[in-house]
Chain A
Amino acid sequence: MKLRIKFAKEGLMQYVGHLDLMRCFQKAIVRAKLPVAYSAGFHPHQILSFAAPLGIGLCSDAEYFDLELTEPVETDRVIVNLNAQMPEGLAVKDAVYLAEGAKNAMSLVAACDYVITADRSDFDYSVFAGWTALRTLLISKKTKKAERTIDILPMIYVFQPEENRIVTRLASGSAANLKPAEMMEALTKALGFDCGGEDFLYRRTEIYAKKEDGGFVPLGEATGGA
């Protein structure tokens, strides 16, 4: 049986990279004595998969991983036991059992919400109002083979400057993936500001799967079977 775990990552933990975070959870799961399933072979590993890696320096309210157990444990107990093992800056928020045949978290990822704030307090967010006039937003992406120019405008589903922050929803996952810092770097350049992606702080607030009707549903609710 598979569980989808939702957790928040912030404070000092934003400086711990994705692979290290995985290792941190693997150890916590062992210490919490959860009946986790292991793969076969000479080097068995826990059957555990994360939805979407979060870059170093980003906080998040909603990260997800799927975990296979060998026997059922009450979800409340999973949450309490795991939280007893969490370092400051990591908190398990929820755990839900997946229905038989449910898709894994990673394959579901379609979009992410981010809240973006400038790293200085006197920043005027209204300057971004002009973004609606853009018809394309080009960036060059390096792949293994070559460098190519792509238009990231279609990957920006929502971009909403507010009084003291920007709220966005960006394409995410294997088909199209846009990182918020990448977007801000391109946007500030296109609008001619003298700042760049590294001048903002980013917080992921949700990860979504796509619904049949084209709408988005948080991964924590996309736990049904096929």
Chain B
Amino acid sequence: MAKINLDINGKKQVVDVDPKTPMLWVLRDHLNLVGTKYGCGVAQCGACTILLEGTAVRSCMLPVSQVENKSITTIEGLSENGDHPVQKAWLEHDVAQCGYCQAGQIMTAVALLEKNPKPSDEEIEAALHGNICRCGTYLRIKAAVKTAAQS
């Protein structure tokens, strides 16, 4: 166990955990931020995607010891009222079916648009191809990313 200083969604917090604990479980079990989802646990599905200093990373393979004092954003911290342009575009296109993968999809899309505000179709596909959706919402995801890029 070790005390680790975290900066999550703009809030400084301290957790006392095994330093090898993946961020996914620190968020879900210790900080009650359950929007970030567990799919595979081995960085293969994208359900657990969060932003680390603005970069989309898989939290299931990210030990908490690696993120000390670095800024982390989860789906809960994207906006106060669910009105981040990507969230709005997701609602406009009614992207979600079961919704389980969508936090990961949205976080990946946010990171993409941060770096590349006007991505081409190919760039959207390349950025999001690692986020798996069992419900198959890929076409709407792509449309929503394009809408978000215009706003």
Instruction: Decide whether A and B are members of one complex.
Output: no
